[in-house]
Amino acid sequence: MEASLSHHELVRPWRRATLVASLIAGVELVLLLVCGALLVARPITHALRHHAQQAAATSHKAATATPATRVQQAVKHAAATPKLPARSHTKVLVLNGNGRNGAAHTAAMQLQALGYRIAGATNAKRQDYATTLVMYAPGYRPEALRLAHDLHVNVVGPLDGLSPKALDGGQLAVVLGAS
């Protein structure tokens, strides 16, 4: 009986079995790749979502920060900067802009007690400033931020309405306001 089976008849069942086994292996490979992608994609997706939420929260804080908050942050940063010269190397002109008698002299004494040199203490041209502000000559922004931090002042800016000559040799000016 064995002699009556041809070569093709013996190969045909093996060929069919090989095709079925290859098809099953291919399906298993696709399933393993999909499972692997899901296992790897889930932590990556979680990390990306977490990073995006942090970035959105940071940009939201920056976008909603008031100008006073931004100045406070800049003041804190400048106050922490160790490269500033000593307060005794900074001359401050104190201007009374609130109309109270003796306010400039009192503030000058407080600044002197903190170590600042006083360039002068006098009345401002106007007496209707609502808030105290610190102004600085070109190149003295870090010192102005430190002075604002020392005085708990939120408004800091370059000289406005004053020439550097009007500072009487000082680098900074404090205009005392009503608050």
Q: What is the mean pLDDT of the chain?
A: 82
* Comparison of pLDDT for 17 and 89, the residue scoring more: 89
Class of domain 69-176: alpha beta
Enumerate the domain spans of the chain: 2-64, 69-176
Per residue in 5-40, is it b (16+ CB within 10 Å) or e — as a string?
eeeeeeeeeeeeeeeeeeeeeeeeeeeeeeeeeeee
Taking only the tens place, the pLDDT of each residue in 56-104 is 766 656 556 666 666 666 666 655 555 789 999 999 999 999 989 999 9
Given pLDDT bands bounded at 50, 70 and 90, which one contains residue 113? very high
Q: What is the dihedral of CA 104, 110, 116, 121, to 10 degrees?
A: 10
* Comparison of pLDDT for 59 and 119, the residue scoring more: 119
pTM: 0.55
Residues 6+ apart with CB under 8 A from 14: none
* Comparison of pLDDT for 85 and 12, the residue scoring more: 85
